[in-house]
Structure 1
Amino acid sequence: MCGRFALTATPDQTAAFLGLAELDDFPARYNIAPTQPVLAVLSAGPQAPGSNRPDRTALLVRWGLIPAWVKETRGFPLLFNARSEGASEKASFRAAMRHRRALVPASGFYEWQQAGGRRGQPFWVRPKRGGLIAFAALVETYAEPGGSEMDTCAIMTTSANADVADIHERMPVVIEPQDFSRWLDCRTQEPRDVAGLLRPADPGFFEAVPVSDLVNKVANTGPEIQDEHTASVVPAAAKPKPRKAGADEGQMTLF
């Protein structure tokens, strides 16, 4: 599961990591939540011989995928995550998995350890080596009834590795830099060709830092939400409760 994350690197650092020429300026974001705009990177398509055009493009998308075939969004579940297992066959994600695979940059993500069926201790899960990571994502363009279009996305998840399993049974899929081009290439790489990339991060890749419940409120957006806070840590033996199936299921600004 991935329901909150952060992107605190500078635009220059983010562009260099993703292989982009540049990015428009944006501030550090410490508490990104579903329905908010997020940065996504897709393939720019095939290159003409001798072309200097970048082979990747960045855009802002709404975090919460809406399939193109949806007629009425009211009552439709918020698909901010897509389970990697079976995504290429599921109606909501099949087209995006084939034609619009993307990367969403992040500095880390938040996860909550379940306690008695309720959301318990929050953790800030970050790469031990520091720096940026890129989540596997799917993008879909939704045409609204009024005629305007909105780009939307879901972050892909997989089973948790040993770094996260005591907190939650799911984690976002992380694509390594050497696999960016392969993941984004929807022209020659079919879903079955990239299925091997949809796996948990190697053990030891992440570290989980307990933080306060400030992160629970979307209105809290400062760096203090990542400060270590151990007062209410839940014992590691507590097992997370299975998620309901539905949980995986205009111009925007990053400001």
Structure 2
Amino acid sequence: MCGRYSLSKSKIELEERFQAEMLADFKPRYNIAPTQLVPVITSDSPKGFSFFYWGITPDFGHNKPVSQKLINAKAESVNEKISFKGSFQRRRCLVPADGFFEWKKLGKKTKIPYRFTLRDEDIFSFAGIWEEYETVSGESQHTFLILTTTPNEVVEEVHDRMPVIIPRDQEKKWLDKYSSESDLMKMLNPYPAELMLSYTVSPLVNSVQNDSPGIIRRTSPMDQFGNYTLFG
């Protein structure tokens, strides 16, 4: 799964990368978590960043509380499952990021947080799908989730799934409403391992309350309690 990621680049860097307009008060994010309002790019509005909540309430389960929302969908079956098929066909988005986090289990109690980035540490995009739904109070909200796939050789050392990263030269095709299902499915592969790297980070990332540059800084391996470990 993908349950935490970063977008630590500046407003100017994001606008240049995607040729899209960002909110004037945007600030870099170092520890993005589910239920938070974050930028995405949709085919409906490709020249500007939209802000959606991370966590979709499925078509068949409107008005579910946040704790029951979905944050990921398996890429292998996204075109088949009733809960995702409509969004996959008509409501796709790019989710800008510059890294994501996973935790490596060591024994029953120890977990070591890792950050995964592109080798050049540049901005990239997750494959996302979105939808609009009505809250209990009757308000309209936009939400999204991130597609995941089998891990490449870098990620599999830590976790058995990884988010789908759309190659830069295929981003427009992902957003194109006229792209065929077969072409879309061909994009949902593990990103090439040789273009990625990973490193251990501080257990500060464990708490969604923490959102500072120190979270993405390389550190010696530490468990979830902040104790140094010999395992990397």
Fold in common (TM above 0.5): yes
Q: Does 1:101 align with 2:100?
A: no
1:190 and 1:134 map into 2 onto residues whose CA distance is 20
2:89 and 2:108 map into 1 onto residues whose CA distance is 36
1:40 and 1:126 map into 2 onto residues whose CA distance is 18
* Structure 1 counterpart of 2:186, one-letter code: G
C-alpha contact 2:128 2:144 (8 A) present in aligned 1: yes
Q: Deviations over 1:76-99 (max 9, x none)?
A: 732111110101111221111000
Matches within 5 A, 1:43-122: 43-44=43-44, 55-74=46-65, 77-118=68-109, 120-122=111-113
Q: Secondary structure at the match of 2:68?
A: coil
The aligned counterpart of 1:18 is 18
The aligned counterpart of 2:115 is 124
Report the TM-score when normalising by structure 1: 0.82
2:110 and 2:149 map into 1 onto residues whose CA distance is 20
1:176 and 1:162 map into 2 onto residues whose CA distance is 18
Residues 191/76 of structure 1: CA separation in 2 closer, same or farther (3 Å cut): farther
Q: Secondary structure at the match of 2:155?
A: coil
The aligned counterpart of 1:156 is 147
Report the TM-score when normalising by structure 2: 0.90
- Greater RCO (Cα-Cα under 8 Å, separation 6 or more): 1
2:4 and 2:28 map into 1 onto residues whose CA distance is 14
- By percentage of residues, which structure has more helix? 2
2:28 and 2:158 map into 1 onto residues whose CA distance is 26
Tell me how many residue pairs correspond in the alignment.
225
Structure 2: gaps spanning 5 or more residues: 223-228
Structure 1: gaps spanning 5 or more residues: 45-53, 237-255
Matches within 5 A, 1:186-201: 186=177, 188-201=178-191
The aligned counterpart of 1:226 is 216
C-alpha contact 1:43 1:56 (8 A) present in aligned 2: no
Q: Secondary structure at the match of 1:195?
A: helix
C-alpha contact 1:63 1:80 (8 A) present in aligned 2: yes
Q: CA deviation at 1:144?
A: 1.9
C-alpha contact 1:68 1:141 (8 A) present in aligned 2: no
Identity %, equivalent residues: 32
2:171 and 2:187 map into 1 onto residues whose CA distance is 10
2:73 and 2:195 map into 1 onto residues whose CA distance is 22
* Structure 2 counterpart of 1:164, one-letter code: V
The aligned counterpart of 1:49 is none
2:27 and 2:184 map into 1 onto residues whose CA distance is 33
Q: Deviations over 1:125-163 (max 9, x none)?
A: 111112101100010111123321100000111111011
Q: Secondary structure at the match of 1:73?
A: coil
C-alpha contact 1:43 1:57 (8 A) present in aligned 2: no
